[in-house]
Amino acid sequence: MAKRRYIVELGYGADLHGKDVTKAACRAVKDAISRSCLCGIIELAGIRDPNKMIIRLLIGCPYPERVDKAQVAAQLPFGSVEIETVPGGLEAKGLEVAALGEGDRIVVANAALTVFLDEKDMDMKG
């Protein structure tokens, strides 16, 4: 399968109360896709079914082993999703507000979202 890369977008997300790296990762993915329009994929590459997209997510955060990958993948409305989590992001002292979560730690996740297309699915005539 010959794949071509079409989009690389970066996102940032944080959990301000509770040290939930999955919540931070989900927010990072939502941040990345909020700035991505697929018109090039649909109009230029001729992809009519957005589920043909191959999406690779690289998530950098504290405690990458704690990320619920299925929950993060669910943030994407279509495409086949591959997720890799690596140490990164940030953890900082925040403020404990019991009503919002347990603990006074802020965790930050970064997402690099890359969209690939398989050449066999492309119709360059649009």
| pLDDT band of 15, cuts 50, 70, 90 | very high
Is the pLDDT score of 126 beyond 50? no
**Cβ neighbours of 94 (radius 10 Å):** 19
In the chain, the number of structural domains is 1
**E strand or H helix that includes residue 2:** none
What pLDDT, on the 0 to 100 scale, is given for residue 48? 78
Write down the number of H helices and E strands in the chain: 3, 5
- Average pLDDT of the chain is 89
What pLDDT, on the 0 to 100 scale, is given for residue 1? 65
Q: What CATH number has the domain bearing residue 102?
A: 3.30.1330.20
Residue 126 lies in a domain: no
pLDDT digits (tens, 9 = 90+) for 29-42: 999 999 887 777 77
Give ∠ CA 15-83-33 in degrees, rounded to 5. Answer: 60
Residue 13 lies in a domain: yes
pLDDT digits (tens, 9 = 90+) for 64-88: 999 999 999 999 999 999 999 999 9
Residue 45 lies in a domain: yes
Helix (H, G, I), strand (E, B) or coil at 73: helix
Task: Name the residue range of residue 97's domain.
Answer: 3-121
